[in-house]
A and B are shown apart, each in its own frame.
Chain A
Amino acid sequence: MKQSRLGLTIAIIVLLVIAGLAVFPFYWMFVTATTPTSNFYDENAQLFPNLANLGNFFGAFTDTPMLTWLGNSAIVATGTMVLAVAFGVPTAYALSRFSFRGKAIVGLSLFLTQMLPEAVLVVPLFSIFAALGLINSLFGLILVNAAFVMPVVTLVLMGAIDGVPTEIDEAARVDGATRVGVLTRMVIPIIAPSLAAVAVIAFFHGWNEYIFALTFTTQDSLHTASVGLAGFIGELTTPTQQVMSVAIVYTLPAVALYLLLQRFIVSGIAAGSVKG
């Protein structure tokens, strides 16, 4: 395909600028975390990280309950991922393969759940949780987070399964496989990239979630990192450098996981959305 060299060069430059803007705030978190306090409230504060101050990071680990928070976030995120995918796969398969009464309504309802802001449902949910004894429980957080991200998982997977030719199902059934067997042994492996994509989406949802984690847990020992980090706002005894350190450590796993799996995610989401 013929391209003008100039056009390509301009495109690359623009993309580099955009990539730079995308990454800069994270760089700035790092710079802020390593700025010595003497230089902090200075209009000419340093522009580059001062590696001598990496000790600030260690301070964040020892002076704050960051490790506990991160552990809680990991538990909630993993549980959300497992539960949302576990519920989403059979639902997506049914929506893709079967035709049945009420199917359109189910599909539409799933889409409609995307409109529900957490803030609207948090108070009634609190009453329900209190009645079920799920307050101050990471399991409760997993349950509610998975509920909110499952529709997205289902819709994306549905699109992906739509892309799997039904001949595969037919062939397996001719060989004597049950419907469930078809699903698990034939379809799932084919849509593995999409599965990775939705797994990551669900994981992020649990990792990043704030309102429910804030309202449904009271003790610091149960707080997720999002709540712990937000708790630093308006609190003056923790130095900003430590707060930024916690922010970086909280951001890294999500970004790292994403980068690792991004090939799958891109193709997975594309498979789901282009078909839709």
Chain B
Amino acid sequence: MTSSTTRQRAPRRRDPRRIHGLRSMPYLFIAPAALYLFIFQGIPLIQEFRLAFSNAKLFRPNDFDFIGFDNFVAISQDDGFWQAVSVTVVYVVCCVVGTVLIGLGVALLMNRKFKGRSVLRSLIIIPWAAPPVAIALIAVWMLDARYGIVNRALAVGGLAPEGGNWLNSTTLALPAVLIVTIWQLFPFTSVVTLAALQSVPEELNEAAMLDGANARQRFSAVTWPTIRPTVALVAILMTIWSLRRFELIWLMTQGGPVGTTNTLVIDLYRESFIIRDLGQGAAIGIVGLLVSLTITVIYFILSNRAARSEVTR
């Protein structure tokens, strides 16, 4: 994606990678998908915008009046909403940093040849393949205050939290949810980063070693520049995806206790289906989308700038 936007900015040159065919052909190829997405994502999104400015309720989703910005005013005055915003920020930042760092670390460790490497790689990938509903179930049981294996293991080292509470503790619930999320997602970042690592030109590395560079210098001069675009892409994907995470948090804590794991998605689901105020739920959803959009735009601007500076280097 970075390369396609770069091409738009560069002076128009005959790009050998592009074929110019019939005028209408590309549209023919794309039209079915575009129509399909419009029906199943575009139209509902438009409706969601309408709902955000209405007083619709769950039991009469189509029979409502428009009330202007009242919903947005209401949520901006609600402490619970701002708590959800801060929880979301913490959750997303920790998720991204956690998965990228762990993924990078695992990829670096795996980037050597040794027997059984592919077996290890298969094992490490497994969490990503598991369904979130199943993971939520086993996580809740493992974190059980009385009989959970996590507390039993921690007790051996005297590290079990007082009372044993994880998911019912206002301080430990968010870390617990984060650990489970990162556990599920780090295989993705590991695999993608490892693939990028394996495309680092070996000659450059050897040349650097011959020049007497140590591991850290080699990493910053040779490895990192090559994998940086991939890591950036993975980071932005993790950011957007963690803003969408629902099942794990909902089935583990439903946003509790007292809102300490209440991300914007959880909040809007509760507002729509438990409090049954569709208007406010939609308003929260729109805010969440704006946050996502802002982050994505910033990413594109930054990556464009970086790509351009690379081109001119």
Contacts and interface: CB of A to CB of B under 8 A. Distances in A.
Contacts of B159: none
B104 interface: no
A19 B62 CA distance: 50
A115 B289 contact: yes
A15 B183 contact: no
A267 interface: yes
Given A123-B58, A125-B40, A170-B19, A94 B30 contact: yes
Given A94-B29, A254-B131, A274-B230, A116 B289 contact: yes
Size class of the B contact interface (CB-based, 8 Å): 35 or more
Nearest to A12: B114
Contact of A119 (B18, B121, B134, B268): B268
B32 interface: yes
B138 A25 contact: yes
Contacts of A115: 240, 243-244, 289, 292-293, 296
Given A99-B18, A211-B246, A255-B129, A112 B296 contact: yes
Interface stretch (B44-52, B89-97, B168-176): B44-52
Interface in A236-258: 240, 243-244, 247-248, 250-251, 254-255, 257-258
Summarize A's interface: helix, strand, loop or mixed. helix
B246 A19 contact: no
A117 B243 contact: yes
A210 B127 CA distance: 18
Contacts of A8: 112, 114
Interface stretch (B66-74, B75-83, B190-198): B190-198
Contacts of A40: 147
Summarize B's interface: helix, strand, loop or mixed. helix
Contacts of A151: 37
A274 B226 CA distance: 10
Given A28-B142, A118-B246, A273-B192, A41 B293 contact: no
Contact of A233 (B206, B230, B241, B251): B251
B312 interface: no
Interface string A28-58: 1100100000001111010100000000000
Contact of B19 (A98, A113, A116, A204): A98
A87 interface: yes
Contact of B44 (A42, A121, A150, A266): A121
7 contacts: A15-B106, A15-B109, A97-B19, A117-B265, A123-B48, A233-B140, A267-B195
Given A26-B130, A244-B137, 10 more contacts: A19-B123, A19-B124, A22-B125, A22-B183, A88-B33, A111-B1, A111-B296, A118-B244, A229-B134, A269-B191
Q: Which 9 A-B pairs have the closest CB atoms?
A: A270-B195, A124-B47, A147-B40, A94-B29, A98-B26, A124-B44, A120-B285, A115-B292, A258-B129
